[in-house]
Amino acid sequence: MENVFENNRTAWNEALGYHQKARGDSLQSGFENPDFTTFDRDCDQMQLHKIEAFGLRDKTIGQLPCNNGRELLSLMRYLGARAAYGFDISDTAIDEAKQFAEISGLSAIFERINILEISDKYNEMFDFIYISEGSLQWFPDLSAYFAVVSRLLKTGGHILIYEIHPFAYFFETGYTLGEPDIEKIPSYFDREPHSYPHGLDYVGGTEYEASECFWYMHKMSDIINAVLKSGFDLLEFEEYNIEMANTEAAKATDKLPLSYIISGKKR
Ligand SMILES: C[S@@+](CC[C@H](N)C(=O)[O-])C[C@H]1O[C@@H](n2cnc3c(N)ncnc32)[C@H](O)[C@@H]1O
């Protein structure tokens, strides 16, 4: 299993180089502006209002994984959180996150680590943990992942997951609506890992010969069960036709659920 995570670390370090090239210095110059946020899509207002309702002013928030910290920094500022911690396995992502924190003058802390190995020193420190698109697919065992989320949260702390719907992952392994070939759909029930041979540049769209990485399809029921069994009361589960992954799924918005929100409260 160590191999899975170390491979993914390498693949994400490589991907970040492409993301940085595509973005130029837009995030660096953005974070110089005190009003800057990366929650600038229409659908972000909906999630921001739900998160705001948890009452997080002066509280401690976290994001697992946080990539380059742009969402966590935007949230910290928007919510008026006192402290924010982001964790991610990618060296390049965490280096960039620290740079954005410095530019923005926000006191968020970023740590490079496999989520499954986050230190016990963070136990029960958090009022809120945010989990956003493209986060869960990297963890073969969701109970292990949500056990960490639960361990870090205070009793009464909240989670909000705004994620790509499992059905949208049908479009990640070559299935297209133009030439529908059911063989190309990853099984909804399969537990085997999948890869991204052409890379992870969802920012610039460059295809490259990528280092091998491993991602996993998770059924909606497995996600919900993992949340419930990790000690959360389910507050909300809603499915949307909002496409988040920049794939062919965008052509199926009137047919399929493409994203979802789950929120929960730690018992
Ligand atoms: C698509 S991003 C999701 C984060 C956020 N939604 C975003 O778009 O910035 C996926 C992130 O998961 C991280 N990641 C993958 N496996 C991980 C692991 N085992 N522990 C910590 N981070 C991991 C990658 O490094 C990458 O930054």
The CATH number for 50's domain is: 3.40.50.150
pLDDT 10s digits, 151-201: 999 999 999 999 999 999 999 998 988 888 999 999 999 889 999 999 999
Position of tokens 């530019």?
A: 103
Q: Determine the pLDDT at residue 245.
A: 84
Question: How far is it, in rounded angstroms, from Cα 167 to Cα 146?
Answer: 21
Q: Determine the pLDDT at residue 1.
A: 67
8 lines ligand 1 (CB under 6 A): yes
Give residue 88 CA to ligand 1 midpoint distance, Å.
Answer: 6
Question: How far is it, in rounded angstroms, from Cα 77 to Cα 228?
Answer: 30
Task: Give how many domains the chain has, as a whole number.
Answer: 1
Question: How far is it, in rounded angstroms, from Cα 34 to Cα 53?
Answer: 23
Give residue 144 CA to ligand 1 midpoint distance, Å.
Answer: 16
Q: What's the residue count for the chain?
A: 267
* Cβ count within 10 A of residue 181: 9
Q: Ligand 1 atom closest to Cα of 114?
A: 20
Q: Ligand 1 atom closest to Cα of 202?
A: 1
**Positions in the chain whose pLDDT score sits under 50:** none
Q: Determine the pLDDT at residue 227.
A: 98
* Residues ≥6 apart with Cβ < 8 Å to 152: 62, 64, 118, 122, 123, 124, 125, 126, 129
Question: How far is it, in rounded angstroms, from Cα 125 to Cα 151?
Answer: 9
Give residue 156 CA to ligand 1 midpoint distance, Å.
Answer: 26
Give residue 66 CA to ligand 1 midpoint distance, Å.
Answer: 6
CB distance 124 to 100 below 8 Å: no
Domain with 120, as residue range(s), is 2-266
Give residue 65 CA to ligand 1 midpoint distance, Å.
Answer: 5
| Residue from 246, 253, 252, 249 nearest 205 by CA | 246
Question: How far is it, in rounded angstroms, from Cα 125 to Cα 62?
Answer: 9
User: Would you call the peptide bond into 65 cis, given omega within 30 degrees of 0 as the criterion?
Assistant: yes
Q: Determine the pLDDT at residue 247.
A: 87
Q: Where are the alpha helices (DSSP H) in the chain?
A: 2-23, 26-31, 42-52, 70-79, 91-104, 142-152, 220-229
67 lines ligand 1 (CB under 6 A): yes
Residue 232: strand, helix, or coil: strand
Q: Whose CA is nearest to atom 7 of ligand 1?
A: 67
138 lines ligand 1 (CB under 6 A): yes
Position of tokens 């491993």?
A: 214
* Residues ≥6 apart with Cβ < 8 Å to 221: none
